[in-house]
A and B are shown apart, each in its own frame.
Chain A
Amino acid sequence: MTAITAPAVPLRQRLLRPNALWLAAPGIAFLAVFFLYPVLRLLALSVQDPASGALSVATYARIANTDVYLQVLGITFKIAGNTALFSVLLGYPLAYWLAELKAGLRERMVLLVMVPFWTSYLVKTFAWMVVLGRTGVINSMLTGSGLASEPLPLAYNEFGVMVGMVHAMVPLAVLTMLPVMIGIDRRLIQAAQVLGAAPAQSFWLVYFKLSLPGVTAGGLLVFISSLGFFIVPALLGGRRETMLAQLIITQVQELLNWAFAGALAAMMLVAALVTCWVYDRLFGLSSLSGDTSAQGGGTGRLRLLGLVILRAVAKASAVLSDAARRVIGVRGARRLLPIYCTLALVYLVLPTLLVIPIGFTSSQFLEFPPPGYSLQWFETYFSSPVWLSATLRSFGVAAATAICATLIGGLAALALARSDTRWGGLIFATFLAPLIVPRIIIAVGLFYLFAQIGLVATDLGLVIGHTVLALPFTFVTITAILKNYDWRLDQAAAVLGANRLRTLLLITVPLVKGGLVAAFLFAFITSFDELTIAIFISGGIKTTLPKQMWDDMILQLNPTLAAVSVVVFVIVTVLLLVAERFRRTT
């Protein structure tokens, strides 16, 4: 009897066979050159002697021996940690409330979180400077009404930084927690209550426990983003709130001390990676993408400890909520959450809205309420060649970035959707990495690379840098759309005689058009109000709009900034709403 074996396909042939995975190649190559290499190069610089290029830990020794640097390190961790803590604490009830709303209403209310999420950090921070400053909105109301005899120190201290940071980060926390909460099966809560759990107990023992992956993911993302922050501490903090990123900027821009900047960046990156690693050990990184199938994780003893703690909390809060209900009545207790959420949304939305009337002020100062209204600041803006060229450059760079990022990210998303490779997780992580690595590190790394190949102060350099930052957004948006795409339509087209390219262009692309437009717009917004890379790459007369705003805000606050903020806010908000519309209708 002869054994029949299928002829083995030679390895070379297998690798070169047309495979959807190749579509991810441009993106991977791009990220390797403009993301991985610059970041690693920067880290390498930190352990090199600048003169000889030999291995040296002198820089680290200097950091370890200098109190100021250690202090900055401590402050950075403290501010980032507190920001994560408060963002999650303040955001949790809001996310809970949103998750409980009917889907239609929820989509509209979520926009009240999305808009502040996408609003430029510069505009948000400018708004807080106007609100919290010595002659700001709050202080002029307090002194005007006689509640305080002199202005309270609300800004240029830790309080100001925390208000600004938490305001900037609550939306991220809420948007990370929300999908997890929406995914929780409401019948489980009902089941717990039928089995004898009081509402407070069923919340802690079931709902809260099941929402934990969202909570920790939100905390992690906020912490990592906050580590690299400099806009808020630079503009709302005092000398004692200097953060690591500010130090890096000074080292690069004023002292050109690359080794030192590299060492600081390495410390920031290590902090971020260690946090991620700890998180992964405790909760599993997969829960970052809202995947709750790996529930119940954690190792045996830790899990049991968690359960014991939860039971104690549940019992205590059942007693507390009973007492509360007795004091304020059932109806009063039911109103607490909506009241809180209204206040939270006001905190998120109102400061930015206050900037709008100020943009139309007739005064020479940033007064609120404005003594009168005029268009003079918009006139100043539109007649200033500096502002206009910055605005035009931002539009051009953003458009180019959006095209590149949508194309590269879209192909990569397609590659992942169409091939069941075991490298899927790694590719996914690669495209999300620019979101995890603090922007300041990417920016400084690119600056070093671009200085060598002559891309500093060029539009091309800006487009490349912004594309790195925008790729995660386009990739994730298009991946999500493709997840719901019915691939049998492609098979049908193939059976009917269309080749792969025609299938892609005639069937797939038209059907996921909305998602592509949304991805394009998200990338556009990302670039349009990007500052970190612009600080380094757009030098001299080639500045972008955010860079111009930043320069002005550091020098002197003026009503022109309010007018510019209004323009930026309106543009970004409109684009965002359009993007959301497209994303939903696909």
Chain B
Amino acid sequence: MTTAAKNGVTAPKLIIEGLSKQYGAVTALEPIYLTVPTGEFLTLLGPSGSGKTTLLQMICGLAEPSSGRILIDGRDQTQTPVHQRDIGLVFQHYALFPHLTVAENIEFPLRMRALSATEIKQRVKNVLTMVQLDHLAARFPRELSGGQQQRVALARSFVYQPSIILMDEPLGALDKKLREHMQIEIKQLHRETGATIIYVTHDQEEALALSDRICLMNLARIEQLGSPHEIYARPATAFAADFIGISNIFRGQVDTSNGEARISTPHGKFRLPTGASLSGTEAAIVIRPEQISLGGDKENTVVGRVIDAVYAGSETRLIVDLDEGETVIVRLPPGHPAPAYGERAALGWNPDAAVLVP
């Protein structure tokens, strides 16, 4: 369930209509359509160069769209200059002002909005408490650790309660442990403030952990938009399946001639999930590792040689080289006897557990 739905608020905060960006001959973003409800935590996930930063920059006004409109709270803001958009942005390298102290950095947006001195003081104090940095208010950014700087950047973008907060790989410069810790803090800030957040990352685990919805981007387009579970369980494309979670993908030709839909791949002919349909004949089926079981008793079966078995506590991961030269990953539940290295194994799956993608 999304935070937005929990709060019972459903009015769209942000509507993007046909927004695109062209840098000379380079298309940084194809025209896209996107609606973000108030209070949602939306993640833009995608490989490098897929247009995530470009999209963020257009939302906050740092880049001018080549076409399309941006509506915030129902108002067209496409032409509004950056400083009047009332959007928060957390940069990957924090972009803290080196000549201002932590407190002065945080009060900067409040001063720009000409708030009263008492109000400024109060708000800075509150937000500093929220990110647990009260004791560092008088320090300069260079006197802080990476994680602390990141907290200041977060505080600075939350303090003026902008209508939307954009974060461009805010944790990209931190090490893994700190990153996981900060993820929890960001999630908490989101819950406490009810802010609408659009968050860029190319780390799929981070996206899965944080988001209400994930907007998967590839080649300057939106590949798939949905909740983490939807995208994991029903990937719309082979790219989506490959990018989120581990997938076994078999490409082939769909053949419906004998009344029953099948796909013929180099590894054999497999039955398709019931109800699956497709316009073309070129397609692929995606099977998650936990859907595959040992033993050739199933209708869809492939055979290969075990080249590695990795024991990972809660599961055992088998890596099997198929005879036709592809690798399949299998997840066995704990306690399940695993074949040894070099043994032959037959792998099967229930047709309905697979997903057909173009």
Chain A residues proximal to chain B, CB less than 8 Å: 185, 187-188, 190-199, 201-202, 205-206, 209-210, 293, 295-296, 307, 311
Shortest beta-carbon distance from B276 to chain A in Å: 46
**A209→B108 contact, CB < 8 A:** no
**A195→B109 contact, CB < 8 A:** yes
Given A190-B62, A191-B89, A295-B142, verify A196-B99 contact (CB < 8 Å): no
Closest to B140 in A: A296
**B156→A195 contact, CB < 8 A:** yes
**B97→A194 contact, CB < 8 A:** no
Determine the distance from Cα of A291 to Cα of B137 in the docked complex, in whole angstroms.
Answer: 25
Determine the distance from Cα of A211 to Cα of B205 in the docked complex, in whole angstroms.
Answer: 41
B93 on the A face (CB < 8 A): yes
Besides the known contacts A194-B82, A209-B99, 13 further A-B residue pairs in the complex with CB atoms under 8 A apart: A188-B95, A191-B91, A192-B97, A194-B61, A195-B83, A196-B84, A196-B160, A197-B83, A197-B108, A198-B83, A206-B99, A295-B98, A311-B111
Count of inter-chain pairs, beta carbons less than 8 A: 75
B88 on the A face (CB < 8 A): yes
Given A210-B98, A296-B140, verify A187-B93 contact (CB < 8 Å): yes
B100 on the A face (CB < 8 A): yes
A-contact 0/1 string along B107-147, CB 8 Å cutoff: 01101110000000000000000000000000010100000
Question: CB < 8 Å: which of A187, A197, A201, A295 contacts B99?
Answer: A295
**A196→B98 contact, CB < 8 A:** no
Q: Can you give 15 contacting A-B residue pairs, CB < 8 Å?
A: A187-B93, A188-B95, A188-B97, A190-B95, A191-B95, A193-B83, A194-B85, A194-B89, A195-B83, A196-B112, A196-B113, A197-B83, A201-B83, A202-B83, A295-B142
On chain A, the residues within 8 Å of B95 by CB distance are 185, 187-188, 190-191
Given A194-B88, A210-B98, A295-B98, verify A201-B93 contact (CB < 8 Å): no
Determine the distance from Cα of A296 to Cα of B144 in the docked complex, in whole angstroms.
Answer: 14
**A296→B99 contact, CB < 8 A:** yes
B60 on the A face (CB < 8 A): yes
A-contact 0/1 string along B69-84, CB 8 Å cutoff: 0000000000001111
On chain B, the residues within 8 Å of A193 by CB distance are 62, 81-83
Closest to A199 in B: B83
On chain B, the residues within 8 Å of A190 by CB distance are 62, 82, 89, 91, 95
Shortest beta-carbon distance from B142 to chain A in Å: 7
Shortest beta-carbon distance from A240 to chain B in Å: 43
B86 on the A face (CB < 8 A): yes
Closest to B91 in A: A187
B231 on the A face (CB < 8 A): no
Shortest beta-carbon distance from B75 to chain A in Å: 17
B87 on the A face (CB < 8 A): yes
A-contact 0/1 string along B157-179, CB 8 Å cutoff: 10010000000000000000000
Closest to A198 in B: B83
**A196→B83 contact, CB < 8 A:** yes
On chain A, the residues within 8 Å of B104 by CB distance are 307
Determine the distance from Cα of A295 to Cα of B105 in the docked complex, in whole angstroms.
Answer: 14
Determine the distance from Cα of A221 to Cα of B157 in the docked complex, in whole angstroms.
Answer: 40
Shortest beta-carbon distance from A308 to chain B in Å: 11
**B97→A196 contact, CB < 8 A:** no
Q: How many residues of B contact A (CB 8 A)?
A: 31
Determine the distance from Cα of A202 to Cα of B100 in the docked complex, in whole angstroms.
Answer: 13
Determine the distance from Cα of A198 to Cα of B114 in the docked complex, in whole angstroms.
Answer: 13
Determine the distance from Cα of A164 to Cα of B54 in the docked complex, in whole angstroms.
Answer: 49
Shortest beta-carbon distance from A204 to chain B in Å: 12
Shortest beta-carbon distance from A95 to chain B in Å: 19
**A296→B100 contact, CB < 8 A:** yes
Determine the distance from Cα of A448 to Cα of B262 in the docked complex, in whole angstroms.
Answer: 102
Main secondary structure of the interface of A (DSSP, over half): helix
Shortest beta-carbon distance from A396 to chain B in Å: 50
**A194→B112 contact, CB < 8 A:** no
**B60→A197 contact, CB < 8 A:** no
Chain B residues proximal to chain A, CB less than 8 Å: 60-62, 81-89, 91, 93, 95, 97-101, 104, 108-109, 111-113, 140, 142, 156-157, 160
Name the 7 nearest CB pairs between A and B, nearest first: A196-B112, A191-B95, A195-B109, A193-B82, A194-B89, A295-B98, A187-B95
Determine the distance from Cα of A193 to Cα of B157 in the docked complex, in whole angstroms.
Answer: 12
Closest to B109 in A: A195
Shortest beta-carbon distance from A295 to chain B in Å: 4
Closest to B113 in A: A196
Closest to B92 in A: A187
Shortest beta-carbon distance from B161 to chain A in Å: 12
**A196→B109 contact, CB < 8 A:** yes
On chain B, the residues within 8 Å of A307 by CB distance are 100, 104
Given A188-B95, A295-B98, A295-B99, verify A194-B142 contact (CB < 8 Å): no
Determine the distance from Cα of A395 to Cα of B98 in the docked complex, in whole angstroms.
Answer: 49
On chain A, the residues within 8 Å of B157 by CB distance are 195
Closest to A185 in B: B95
On chain B, the residues within 8 Å of A185 by CB distance are 93, 95
Shortest beta-carbon distance from B198 to chain A in Å: 13
Closest to A292 in B: B98
Closest to A315 in B: B114
On chain B, the residues within 8 Å of A201 by CB distance are 83, 112
On chain A, the residues within 8 Å of B86 by CB distance are 196
Shortest beta-carbon distance from A97 to chain B in Å: 21
On chain A, the residues within 8 Å of B98 by CB distance are 188, 210, 295-296
Closest to A300 in B: B138
**A194→B60 contact, CB < 8 A:** yes
Question: CB < 8 Å: which of B87, B111, B113 contacts A194?
Answer: B87
Determine the distance from Cα of A196 to Cα of B163 in the docked complex, in whole angstroms.
Answer: 13
On chain A, the residues within 8 Å of B93 by CB distance are 185, 187
Shortest beta-carbon distance from A328 to chain B in Å: 18
Shortest beta-carbon distance from A301 to chain B in Å: 14
**B112→A195 contact, CB < 8 A:** yes
Shortest beta-carbon distance from A203 to chain B in Å: 12
Determine the distance from Cα of A205 to Cα of B104 in the docked complex, in whole angstroms.
Answer: 12
Determine the distance from Cα of A196 to Cα of B83 in the docked complex, in whole angstroms.
Answer: 4
Chain A CB within 10 A, most for which of B83, B89, B157? B83
On chain B, the residues within 8 Å of A202 by CB distance are 83
On chain A, the residues within 8 Å of B97 by CB distance are 188, 191-192, 206
Determine the distance from Cα of A296 to Cα of B101 in the docked complex, in whole angstroms.
Answer: 9
On chain B, the residues within 8 Å of A205 by CB distance are 108
Closest to A303 in B: B99
Shortest beta-carbon distance from B95 to chain A in Å: 4
On chain A, the residues within 8 Å of B99 by CB distance are 206, 209-210, 295-296
Determine the distance from Cα of A190 to Cα of B166 in the docked complex, in whole angstroms.
Answer: 13
Chain A CB within 10 A, most for which of B81, B87, B99? B99
Question: CB < 8 Å: which of B61, B62, B81, B160 contacts A195?
Answer: B160
Question: CB < 8 Å: which of B60, B61, B85, B108 contacts A192?
Answer: B108
Shortest beta-carbon distance from A346 to chain B in Å: 32
Closest to B111 in A: A311
Shortest beta-carbon distance from B31 to chain A in Å: 24
Closest to B98 in A: A295
On chain A, the residues within 8 Å of B156 by CB distance are 195
Determine the distance from Cα of A414 to Cα of B61 in the docked complex, in whole angstroms.
Answer: 48
Shortest beta-carbon distance from B304 to chain A in Å: 45
Shortest beta-carbon distance from A554 to chain B in Å: 49
Shortest beta-carbon distance from A430 to chain B in Å: 29
Closest to A194 in B: B89
Determine the distance from Cα of A511 to Cα of B108 in the docked complex, in whole angstroms.
Answer: 48
On chain B, the residues within 8 Å of A210 by CB distance are 98-99
Determine the distance from Cα of A199 to Cα of B104 in the docked complex, in whole angstroms.
Answer: 19
On chain B, the residues within 8 Å of A199 by CB distance are 83
On chain B, the residues within 8 Å of A196 by CB distance are 83-84, 86, 109, 112-113, 160
Determine the distance from Cα of A351 to Cα of B97 in the docked complex, in whole angstroms.
Answer: 42
Determine the distance from Cα of A185 to Cα of B91 in the docked complex, in whole angstroms.
Answer: 12
**A195→B108 contact, CB < 8 A:** yes
Determine the distance from Cα of A453 to Cα of B139 in the docked complex, in whole angstroms.
Answer: 58
Closest to B88 in A: A194
Determine the distance from Cα of A199 to Cα of B61 in the docked complex, in whole angstroms.
Answer: 13
Shortest beta-carbon distance from B330 to chain A in Å: 45
Determine the distance from Cα of A307 to Cα of B107 in the docked complex, in whole angstroms.
Answer: 13
Chain B CB within 10 A, most for which of A187, A191, A199? A191
